[in-house]
């Protein structure tokens, strides 16, 4: 496992793929490509997708210092702030039509989180103070409308006045009032915003999110993170998301690093050490060198999901670096990276990464290559993190 391999995947494959999807006519990036690599220029443009694209180009620029990457970031930023930002009620919509008109105007906290995450990175890359101001405006709305006495709400109406059923982040037949996923990615966003500006109010809420994770979301008996909750943060369903667990470990460690509190780092490091060990024991598939997807009740989903594999690489490199385990963890990261190279990376001309594979390593033809969720965030971030960590 060499940083040059990740640099090649980033610069010669992932970046050129997304560059080609830039939409100069309607703004933003083309929002849909099916598994046969057919582009639908009329496909919806997810706001989460575009926030992740903005984050990706901003961080790719911070690593590579290629000015063209900053131009692509600016293109995504302009689409997000000119088309996706609600000028009347604030915050960003859920999705847009291909021409930049509003398709779905709900205000989902998860979506706001990625918007803040992206703007914070763009500010760090470009120095654009408007981006920082808009990020704070959205955080203020989230803290005012998307919280209660317990945790963060999920989905609200456009004007922020009505709590709606959380169709977007609920699954497995469950309708969750609150989720681990939204809490995790708010933490990710507030970490990036705090890194950009070191605002004390942001720090206070970031610590709240960490405490919520430690005290309520972390299952001490199972050494895992609980997934879905009711309005009182009582768990619903018996689900274990392997990919979110390993992703959370390194994101929580990063939050503690950015905060710069040694005691905090030790507390959450102890939790993360247990979570990583559990994932290595129950989710890592030694025969293929890949990570299984999740467990619901007694049934294990063995699909190999693109983002789960990417987060596994980063999570186990991080775990090895922090001394959570010996070289076994580095071997797991290397094996999963090899699995990605051989099976997940799309070798076809014009392809990027397959979305998911079955046990025979055949890619799922019903899963798009680009859609409102499939983006350069997980795989691009894996490359960026691996380059930076391995070169150290």
Domain ranges across the chain: 3-391
Percent of the chain exceeding pLDDT 70 equals: 100
pLDDT in tens, 323-368: 999 999 999 999 999 999 999 999 999 999 999 999 999 999 999 9
pLDDT at 172: 74
Distances 51 to 75, 118, 174 between C-alpha atoms, Å: 11, 5, 27
Q: What is the pLDDT of the chain when averaged over all its residues? A: 97
The answer to whether 60 and 384 are in contact (CB under 8 A) is yes
Classify domain 3-391 at the CATH topology level.
Glycosyltransferase (1.50.10)
Report the residue count for the chain: 392
Q: For residue 174, what pLDDT band results from cuts at 50, 70 and 90?
A: confident
C-alpha 384/C-alpha 56 separation (Å) is: 9
Phi-psi region of 22 (alpha: psi -120 to 50; beta: other; left: phi over 0): beta
Q: For residue 168, what pLDDT band results from cuts at 50, 70 and 90?
A: confident
- Which residue carries 């930076």 as its tokens? 388
The tokens for 41 are: 């220029």
First to last CA, the chain: 14
The answer to whether 103 and 172 are in contact (CB under 8 A) is no
Compute φ and ψ for 206, nearest 5 degrees.
-65, -45
Residue 222, CB-side half-sphere exposure with 13 Å CA sphere: 16
Longest dimension (CA), the chain: 54
Nearest by Cα to 117 from 19, 31, 30, 194? 194
pLDDT in tens, 250-267: 999 999 999 999 999 999
pLDDT at 375 over 80: yes
- Identify each DSSP E strand in the chain by its residue range: 45-46, 95-96, 102-104, 107-108, 155-156, 178-179, 218-219, 224-225, 228-229, 239-241, 284-285, 290-291, 294-296, 299-301, 304-305, 356-357
The tokens for 140 are: 């203020």
The answer to whether 95 and 372 are in contact (CB under 8 A) is yes
pLDDT in tens, 90-144: 999 999 999 999 999 999 999 999 999 999 999 999 999 999 999 999 999 999 9
C-alpha 154/C-alpha 135 separation (Å) is: 18
pLDDT at 31 over 80: yes
Distances 388 to 3, 63, 152, 212, 224 between C-alpha atoms, Å: 8, 8, 33, 30, 28
pLDDT in tens, 361-374: 999 999 999 999 99
C-alpha 369/C-alpha 3 separation (Å) is: 25
Q: Full-prediction pTM beyond 0.95?
A: yes
């Amino acid at each position: 496992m060499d940083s040059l391999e990740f640099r090649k995947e980033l610069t010669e494959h992932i970046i050129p793929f997304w560059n080609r999807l830039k939409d100069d006519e309607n703004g933003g990036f083309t929002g849909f490509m099916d598994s046969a690599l057919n582009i639908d220029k009329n496909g919806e443009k997810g706001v989460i997708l575009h926030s992740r694209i903005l984050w990706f180009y901003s961080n790719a620029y911070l690593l590579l210092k290629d000015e063209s990457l900053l131009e692509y970031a600016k293109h995504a930023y302009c689409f997000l702030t000119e088309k996706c930002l609600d000028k009347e009620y604030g915050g960003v919509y859920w999705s847009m039509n291909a021409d930049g008109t509003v398709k779905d105007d709900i205000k989902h906290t998860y979506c706001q989180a990625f918007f803040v995450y992206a703007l914070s990175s763009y500010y760090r890359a470009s120095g654009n103070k408007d981006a920082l101001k808009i990020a704070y405006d959205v955080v203020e709305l989230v803290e005012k409308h998307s919280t209660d006495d317990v945790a963060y709400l999920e989905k609200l109406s456009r004007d922020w006045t009505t709590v709606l059923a959380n169709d977007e982040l609920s699954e497995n037949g469950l309708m969750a009032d609150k989720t681990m996923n939204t809490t995790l990615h708010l933490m990710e966003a507030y970490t990036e915003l705090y890194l950009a500006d070191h605002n004390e109010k942001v720090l206070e809420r970031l610590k709240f999110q960490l405490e919520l994770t430690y005290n309520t979301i972390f299952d001490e008996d199972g050494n895992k993170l609980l997934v879905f909750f009711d309005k009182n943060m009582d768990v619903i369903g018996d689900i274990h998301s392997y990919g979110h667990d390993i992703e959370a470990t390194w994101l929580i460690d990063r939050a503690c690093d950015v905060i710069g509190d040694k005691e905090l780092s030790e507390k959450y490091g102890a939790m993360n050490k247990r979570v990583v060990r559990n994932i290595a024991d129950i989710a890592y598939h030694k025969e293929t060198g890949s990570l299984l997807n999740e467990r619901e009740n007694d049934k294990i989903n063995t699909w190999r999901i693109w983002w789960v594999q990417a987060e596994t690489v980063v999570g186990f490199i991080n775990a090895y670096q922090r001394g959570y385990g010996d070289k076994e963890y580095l071997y797991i990261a290397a094996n999963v990276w090899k699995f990605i190279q051989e099976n997940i990376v799309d070798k076809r001309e014009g392809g990027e990464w397959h979305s998911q594979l079955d046990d025979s390593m055949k890619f799922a033809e019903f899963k798009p290559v680009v859609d409102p969720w499939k983006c350069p965030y997980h795989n691009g971030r894996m490359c960026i993190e691996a380059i930076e960590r391995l070169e150290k």
